[in-house]
Amino acid sequence: MLKYFIILISFFISIPNLHSQLMSKKEEIYLEASKLMDSSMYEDAIKYFDWVIFKDDKYFQAHLKKAVCLSIIGNENEAVISFDAALLNAKTIKEKAQVHYNRAISYSNLNKINESIKDYTETIKLNPKLGQAFNNRGLEKERLGDLEGAKSDINQAIIRDTNNASFLYNLGRIHLVQKNYELAALIFTKSLIRDRNYLLSYLKRGDCFAHQKKFKMAFSDFDHFIKFTPNNAEAYLKRGYCNMALKNNDAACEDYRLSAKYGDKTAIDLINQFCK
């Protein structure tokens, strides 16, 4: 009888040890999955996260990171399903905000704009200091044609992060679409003050100057953009317009030829018209 008692005691003692070993293995696999994710080995990471979830289907970070990996490789429908699972297991405000924010990106990539806006709105409710959520919601509103709503959101993003060049670029771009050229140019300039290497602001500010017939200033911006992106057909075409307006016909034709070389078909018509 004593023999069986000793065996029974040993068995029960072993259960916590086994549980501890399983927990240790789960954490080990999770960390390995995270390393694979950080190394851009997303498909392998997903398999490891799946193993962790199989062992513990309430593991929030595994669901979240698996969803992000799925989104990165373009499997957005599956990503949304994984984000849903993550949300079910999110316990803190921070965790819920993370899910809503990242799921909004997946919905955007699926062209489910209203769903994306809803998730960004939930993110903002949970974390009203997150400027990126306001910016992204603004971009979704822009896709729906709500330019005023878009500007309002992006302005809120700028209030929360005054040094973000991309937020200012997005605001300037919408003003450019609305033909507020002088104001847009000012906003692009502010963007470049924050980050002089934000090249798209040069390209768009050049558009503003060209629309105002400030061709020397436009030329300067397009020229600067080309120095850092020498294979951009659009920039050569626009610099060619400026050269033509400034009566630099030979230089304009050279720009049109370079634009055509890099794939702009409009440039071919201009070459036939002005560069015989």
Written as one string, the DSSP assignment of the chain is -HHHHHHHHHHHHHHHHHHHHHHHHHHHHHHHHHHHHHTT-HHHHHHHHHHHHHH-TT-HHHHHHHHHHHHHTT-HHHHHHHHHHHHHH--SHHHHHHHHHHHHHHHHHTT-HHHHHHHHHHHHHH-TT-HHHHHHHHHHHHHTT-HHHHHHHHHHHHHH-TT-HHHHHHHHHHHHHTT-HHHHHHHHHHHHHH-TT-HHHHHHHHHHHHHTT-HHHHHHHHHHHHHH-TT-HHHHHHHHHHHHHTT-HHHHHHHHHHHHHTT-HHHHHHHHHH--
Q: What does the pLDDT read at residue 149?
A: 98
Task: Output the CA angle 68-70-75, nearest 5 degrees.
Answer: 135
* Per-residue tens of pLDDT for the chain, all 276 residues: 444 444 444 444 444 554 455 567 899 999 999 999 999 999 999 999 999 999 999 999 999 999 999 999 999 999 999 999 999 999 999 999 999 999 999 999 999 999 999 999 999 999 999 999 999 999 999 999 999 999 999 999 999 999 999 999 999 999 999 999 999 999 999 999 999 999 999 999 999 999 999 999 999 999 999 999 999 999 999 999 999 999 999 999 999 999 999 999 999 999 999 997
Do 132 and 120 form a contact (C-beta atoms < 8 A)? no
pTM: 0.89
Distance CA 152, CA 170 (A): 12
Report CA-CA distances (Å) from 189 to 25, 91, 93, 185, 232: 54, 43, 37, 6, 21
CATH number of 17-212: 3.40.50.2300, 1.25.40.10, 1.10.1670.40, 2.60.120.10? 1.25.40.10
Distance CA 16, CA 22 (A): 10
Q: What does the pLDDT read at residue 20?
A: 52
Domain residue spans in the chain? 17-212, 230-276
